[in-house]
Structure 1
Protein backbone atom coordinates (compact mmCIF):
# COMPACT_ATOMS: atom_id res chain seq x y z
CA UNK A 1 0.00 0.00 0.00
CA UNK A 2 1.33 3.45 -0.92
CA UNK A 3 2.27 5.82 1.91
CA UNK A 4 -0.19 8.77 2.12
CA UNK A 5 2.63 11.28 2.78
CA UNK A 6 4.41 10.11 -0.36
CA UNK A 7 1.13 10.38 -2.24
CA UNK A 8 0.61 13.94 -0.96
CA UNK A 9 4.12 14.99 -1.89
CA UNK A 10 4.10 13.20 -5.25
CA UNK A 11 0.77 14.77 -6.18
CA UNK A 12 2.09 18.22 -5.34
CA UNK A 13 5.42 17.57 -7.07
CA UNK A 14 3.55 16.53 -10.23
CA UNK A 15 2.04 20.03 -10.26
CA UNK A 16 5.42 21.70 -9.68
CA UNK A 17 4.84 22.35 -5.95
CA UNK A 18 7.20 21.50 -3.12
CA UNK A 19 6.24 21.32 0.54
CA UNK A 20 8.49 23.94 2.15
CA UNK A 21 10.18 24.03 5.51
CA UNK A 22 7.92 26.29 7.59
CA UNK A 23 9.10 29.86 8.06
CA UNK A 24 10.59 30.89 11.38
CA UNK A 25 7.81 32.23 13.64
CA UNK A 26 7.90 36.04 13.74
CA UNK A 27 5.96 36.23 17.02
CA UNK A 28 5.09 34.19 20.11
CA UNK A 29 3.28 31.15 18.68
CA UNK A 30 3.82 27.53 17.72
CA UNK A 31 3.17 26.26 14.18
CA UNK A 32 0.59 23.77 15.40
CA UNK A 33 -0.81 21.78 18.28
CA UNK A 34 -2.37 18.32 18.40
CA UNK A 35 -5.43 17.89 20.58
CA UNK A 36 -7.00 14.46 20.34
CA UNK A 37 -7.39 13.59 16.68
CA UNK A 38 -7.11 17.24 15.51
CA UNK A 39 -4.12 19.29 14.43
CA UNK A 40 -4.75 23.00 14.92
CA UNK A 41 -2.37 24.95 12.71
CA UNK A 42 -1.41 28.57 13.22
CA UNK A 43 -2.20 30.94 10.39
CA UNK A 44 0.22 30.82 7.47
CA UNK A 45 1.07 33.65 5.12
CA UNK A 46 2.81 33.33 1.73
CA UNK A 47 6.47 33.10 2.68
CA UNK A 48 9.03 31.72 0.23
CA UNK A 49 12.42 31.01 1.79
CA UNK A 50 11.68 33.26 4.80
CA UNK A 51 10.62 36.19 2.56
CA UNK A 52 7.02 37.33 2.08
CA UNK A 53 6.18 36.74 -1.60
CA UNK A 54 4.09 39.93 -1.87
CA UNK A 55 2.54 42.66 0.23
CA UNK A 56 -0.53 44.81 -0.15
CA UNK A 57 -4.26 44.46 -0.58
CA UNK A 58 -6.42 42.70 -3.11
CA UNK A 59 -8.27 45.23 -5.19
CA UNK A 60 -5.49 47.82 -4.76
CA UNK A 61 -1.95 46.42 -5.04
CA UNK A 62 -2.55 42.73 -5.71
CA UNK A 63 -4.48 41.16 -8.60
CA UNK A 64 -6.92 38.28 -8.31
CA UNK A 65 -4.49 35.88 -10.02
CA UNK A 66 -1.68 36.95 -7.69
CA UNK A 67 -3.99 36.52 -4.70
CA UNK A 68 -4.81 32.97 -5.73
CA UNK A 69 -1.11 32.13 -6.10
CA UNK A 70 -0.40 33.66 -2.69
CA UNK A 71 -3.20 31.63 -1.11
CA UNK A 72 -1.68 28.52 -2.70
CA UNK A 73 1.72 29.39 -1.21
CA UNK A 74 0.17 29.86 2.22
CA UNK A 75 -1.49 26.44 1.86
CA UNK A 76 1.86 24.87 0.99
CA UNK A 77 3.35 26.49 4.09
CA UNK A 78 0.53 24.89 6.10
CA UNK A 79 1.56 21.50 4.70
CA UNK A 80 5.10 22.20 5.86
CA UNK A 81 3.90 23.17 9.34
CA UNK A 82 1.74 20.03 9.56
CA UNK A 83 4.64 17.83 8.50
CA UNK A 84 6.90 19.56 11.04
CA UNK A 85 4.44 18.91 13.88
CA UNK A 86 3.39 15.38 12.88
CA UNK A 87 6.52 14.15 11.09
CA UNK A 88 4.33 12.97 8.21
CA UNK A 89 1.16 13.81 6.31
CA UNK A 90 -0.03 10.19 6.38
CA UNK A 91 -3.60 9.85 7.54
CA UNK A 92 -4.28 13.59 7.51
CA UNK A 93 -7.48 15.12 6.18
CA UNK A 94 -8.82 18.69 5.98
CA UNK A 95 -11.46 19.45 8.62
CA UNK A 96 -11.71 23.20 7.94
CA UNK A 97 -9.99 25.99 6.00
CA UNK A 98 -10.22 29.68 6.85
CA UNK A 99 -8.91 32.19 4.31
CA UNK A 100 -8.34 35.81 5.29
CA UNK A 101 -7.94 38.29 2.45
CA UNK A 102 -6.51 41.76 3.09
CA UNK A 103 -8.44 43.88 0.64
CA UNK A 104 -9.78 47.22 -0.43
CA UNK A 105 -13.25 47.99 1.01
CA UNK A 106 -14.94 47.45 -2.37
CA UNK A 107 -13.31 44.04 -3.01
CA UNK A 108 -15.89 41.24 -3.00
CA UNK A 109 -14.12 38.22 -4.56
CA UNK A 110 -12.68 36.65 -1.39
CA UNK A 111 -14.09 33.28 -2.35
CA UNK A 112 -12.21 33.33 -5.67
CA UNK A 113 -8.91 34.13 -3.93
CA UNK A 114 -9.60 31.26 -1.51
CA UNK A 115 -9.75 28.86 -4.46
CA UNK A 116 -5.94 29.07 -4.65
CA UNK A 117 -5.68 27.39 -1.24
CA UNK A 118 -8.55 24.96 -1.90
CA UNK A 119 -6.99 23.88 -5.19
CA UNK A 120 -3.68 23.04 -3.49
CA UNK A 121 -5.45 21.09 -0.75
CA UNK A 122 -7.52 19.10 -3.25
CA UNK A 123 -4.38 18.40 -5.31
CA UNK A 124 -2.53 17.22 -2.21
CA UNK A 125 -5.19 15.06 -0.62
CA UNK A 126 -7.02 13.92 -3.74
CA UNK A 127 -10.05 14.99 -5.74
CA UNK A 128 -12.44 13.38 -3.23
CA UNK A 129 -11.24 15.56 -0.37
CA UNK A 130 -14.04 17.83 0.84
CA UNK A 131 -12.81 21.31 1.76
CA UNK A 132 -15.20 23.11 4.12
CA UNK A 133 -14.05 26.71 4.29
CA UNK A 134 -14.69 30.31 5.13
CA UNK A 135 -13.27 33.25 3.18
CA UNK A 136 -13.41 36.74 4.67
CA UNK A 137 -12.02 40.18 3.88
CA UNK A 138 -9.99 42.01 6.50
CA UNK A 139 -8.39 45.47 6.61
CA UNK A 140 -4.87 44.16 7.27
CA UNK A 141 -2.81 41.06 8.01
CA UNK A 142 0.57 40.48 9.68
CA UNK A 143 3.53 42.01 7.83
CA UNK A 144 1.10 43.51 5.27
CA UNK A 145 0.49 40.06 3.76
CA UNK A 146 -2.33 39.93 1.21
CA UNK A 147 -3.64 36.54 2.42
CA UNK A 148 -3.44 34.27 5.44
CA UNK A 149 -4.87 30.79 5.80
CA UNK A 150 -5.62 28.69 8.84
CA UNK A 151 -6.18 24.95 8.68
CA UNK A 152 -7.74 22.46 11.04
CA UNK A 153 -6.74 18.91 10.14
CA UNK A 154 -7.93 15.55 11.38
CA UNK A 155 -5.52 12.73 12.05
CA UNK A 156 -6.78 9.20 11.51
CA UNK A 157 -5.89 6.51 14.02
CA UNK A 158 -3.78 4.28 11.81
Structure 2
Protein backbone atom coordinates (compact mmCIF):
# COMPACT_ATOMS: atom_id res chain seq x y z
CA UNK A 1 0.00 0.00 0.00
CA UNK A 2 1.41 3.40 -0.93
CA UNK A 3 1.96 6.13 1.63
CA UNK A 4 -0.31 9.07 0.71
CA UNK A 5 1.78 11.59 2.68
CA UNK A 6 5.03 10.56 1.00
CA UNK A 7 3.21 10.67 -2.35
CA UNK A 8 1.97 14.20 -1.63
CA UNK A 9 5.47 15.33 -0.58
CA UNK A 10 6.81 13.98 -3.88
CA UNK A 11 4.06 15.76 -5.84
CA UNK A 12 5.03 19.03 -4.12
CA UNK A 13 8.72 18.44 -4.83
CA UNK A 14 9.58 18.25 -1.13
CA UNK A 15 12.27 15.94 0.18
CA UNK A 16 12.35 15.81 3.94
CA UNK A 17 15.82 16.30 5.39
CA UNK A 18 17.29 14.22 8.18
CA UNK A 19 15.87 15.46 11.47
CA UNK A 20 18.20 18.06 12.97
CA UNK A 21 19.93 17.40 16.27
CA UNK A 22 19.16 19.78 19.15
CA UNK A 23 21.34 22.88 19.40
CA UNK A 24 21.16 23.07 23.20
CA UNK A 25 19.98 21.12 26.26
CA UNK A 26 16.63 19.78 25.03
CA UNK A 27 15.22 16.92 22.98
CA UNK A 28 13.82 17.47 19.48
CA UNK A 29 10.50 15.83 20.33
CA UNK A 30 8.55 14.21 23.15
CA UNK A 31 5.71 11.72 22.86
CA UNK A 32 3.27 11.82 25.77
CA UNK A 33 0.21 9.64 25.40
CA UNK A 34 -1.14 10.25 21.91
CA UNK A 35 0.52 13.66 21.54
CA UNK A 36 3.81 14.40 19.80
CA UNK A 37 5.40 17.68 20.87
CA UNK A 38 8.01 18.94 18.43
CA UNK A 39 10.53 21.49 19.66
CA UNK A 40 10.87 24.74 17.76
CA UNK A 41 12.32 24.24 14.28
CA UNK A 42 14.35 26.88 12.46
CA UNK A 43 14.33 27.65 8.72
CA UNK A 44 17.21 25.34 7.85
CA UNK A 45 17.81 24.01 4.38
CA UNK A 46 20.63 21.76 3.23
CA UNK A 47 22.01 21.75 6.76
CA UNK A 48 22.31 25.51 7.21
CA UNK A 49 20.12 28.39 8.33
CA UNK A 50 18.44 29.74 5.19
CA UNK A 51 16.64 32.90 6.34
CA UNK A 52 18.05 35.26 8.98
CA UNK A 53 17.25 38.72 10.28
CA UNK A 54 14.19 40.69 11.27
CA UNK A 55 11.06 40.40 9.17
CA UNK A 56 10.00 43.88 8.14
CA UNK A 57 13.59 45.13 8.07
CA UNK A 58 16.09 42.55 6.73
CA UNK A 59 13.54 40.05 5.43
CA UNK A 60 10.38 40.77 3.42
CA UNK A 61 7.07 38.99 4.01
CA UNK A 62 7.55 36.54 1.10
CA UNK A 63 10.97 35.46 2.43
CA UNK A 64 9.44 35.20 5.90
CA UNK A 65 6.75 32.90 4.52
CA UNK A 66 9.45 30.77 2.91
CA UNK A 67 11.24 30.64 6.28
CA UNK A 68 8.02 29.45 7.95
CA UNK A 69 7.59 26.84 5.21
CA UNK A 70 11.12 25.55 5.84
CA UNK A 71 10.30 25.33 9.56
CA UNK A 72 7.23 23.22 8.69
CA UNK A 73 9.32 20.93 6.49
CA UNK A 74 11.68 20.46 9.45
CA UNK A 75 8.70 19.76 11.73
CA UNK A 76 7.62 16.98 9.36
CA UNK A 77 11.20 15.64 9.37
CA UNK A 78 11.15 15.51 13.18
CA UNK A 79 7.72 13.85 13.12
CA UNK A 80 9.02 11.24 10.70
CA UNK A 81 11.95 10.51 13.02
CA UNK A 82 9.67 10.34 16.07
CA UNK A 83 7.22 8.01 14.34
CA UNK A 84 9.77 5.51 13.04
CA UNK A 85 9.52 6.87 9.51
CA UNK A 86 5.73 6.51 9.28
CA UNK A 87 4.01 9.87 8.77
CA UNK A 88 0.66 8.10 8.34
CA UNK A 89 0.61 7.88 12.15
CA UNK A 90 -0.22 11.61 12.17
CA UNK A 91 -3.89 11.80 13.10
CA UNK A 92 -4.02 15.59 13.31
CA UNK A 93 -1.79 18.60 13.67
CA UNK A 94 -3.36 20.11 16.77
CA UNK A 95 -1.44 23.39 16.98
CA UNK A 96 1.43 25.30 15.43
CA UNK A 97 3.08 28.15 17.29
CA UNK A 98 5.14 30.47 15.13
CA UNK A 99 7.67 32.95 16.44
CA UNK A 100 8.61 35.68 13.96
CA UNK A 101 11.69 37.84 14.56
CA UNK A 102 10.06 41.19 13.87
CA UNK A 103 11.26 44.70 13.26
CA UNK A 104 9.60 47.34 15.45
CA UNK A 105 6.19 48.15 13.99
CA UNK A 106 5.92 44.92 11.96
CA UNK A 107 2.47 43.40 12.46
CA UNK A 108 2.05 40.76 9.73
CA UNK A 109 3.26 37.76 11.73
CA UNK A 110 0.04 35.96 10.83
CA UNK A 111 0.79 36.31 7.11
CA UNK A 112 4.36 35.06 7.58
CA UNK A 113 3.02 32.07 9.54
CA UNK A 114 0.79 31.13 6.61
CA UNK A 115 3.94 29.69 5.02
CA UNK A 116 3.96 26.94 7.66
CA UNK A 117 0.18 26.56 7.88
CA UNK A 118 -0.25 26.25 4.11
CA UNK A 119 2.51 23.67 3.78
CA UNK A 120 1.16 21.47 6.58
CA UNK A 121 -2.39 21.64 5.19
CA UNK A 122 -1.18 20.96 1.63
CA UNK A 123 0.80 17.91 2.71
CA UNK A 124 -1.62 16.43 5.28
CA UNK A 125 -5.01 17.58 4.02
CA UNK A 126 -7.67 17.80 6.73
CA UNK A 127 -5.27 16.29 9.28
CA UNK A 128 -3.06 19.33 8.71
CA UNK A 129 -5.70 21.92 9.60
CA UNK A 130 -4.72 23.25 12.99
CA UNK A 131 -5.09 25.88 15.67
CA UNK A 132 -2.16 28.27 15.84
CA UNK A 133 -0.50 31.32 17.29
CA UNK A 134 1.75 33.77 15.44
CA UNK A 135 3.92 35.79 17.80
CA UNK A 136 6.35 38.63 17.10
CA UNK A 137 9.74 38.38 18.83
CA UNK A 138 12.67 40.79 19.20
CA UNK A 139 15.14 38.05 18.22
CA UNK A 140 15.41 34.29 17.77
CA UNK A 141 18.30 31.83 18.18
CA UNK A 142 21.08 32.15 15.58
CA UNK A 143 19.33 35.26 14.19
CA UNK A 144 16.70 33.02 12.54
CA UNK A 145 13.80 34.92 10.99
CA UNK A 146 11.18 32.37 12.09
CA UNK A 147 10.85 29.43 14.48
CA UNK A 148 7.85 27.09 14.58
CA UNK A 149 6.88 24.42 17.12
CA UNK A 150 4.10 21.84 16.84
CA UNK A 151 1.72 19.66 18.80
CA UNK A 152 0.55 16.64 16.79
CA UNK A 153 -1.98 13.96 17.66
CA UNK A 154 -0.73 10.51 16.70
CA UNK A 155 -2.34 7.11 16.26
CA UNK A 156 -0.94 3.87 17.64
What is the TM-score with the length of structure 1 in the denominator? Answer: 0.92
Range with bigger deviation, 100-109 or 85-94: 85-94
Displacement over 4 Å in runs of 4+: none
Aligned pair partner of 2:20 in 20, 23, 27: 23
Aligned pair partner of 1:75 in 64, 72, 76: 72
Deviation at 1:127, TM superposition (A): 4.7
- 8 Å Cα contact 2:21-2:28 kept in structure 1: no
Change (3 A) 1:63 1:153: same
- 8 Å Cα contact 1:9-1:18 kept in structure 2: no
Q: CA RMSD in A?
A: 1.3
Change (3 A) 1:112 1:156: same
Q: Tell me, in whole angstroms, the C-alpha distance in 2 between the residues paired with 1:35 and 1:152.
A: 11
Pairs aligned (count): 154
Structure 1 unaligned regions, length at least 5: none
Structure 2 unaligned regions, length at least 5: none
Deviation at 1:129, TM superposition (A): 3.7
Match of 1:14 in 2: 11
Match of 1:102 in 2: 101
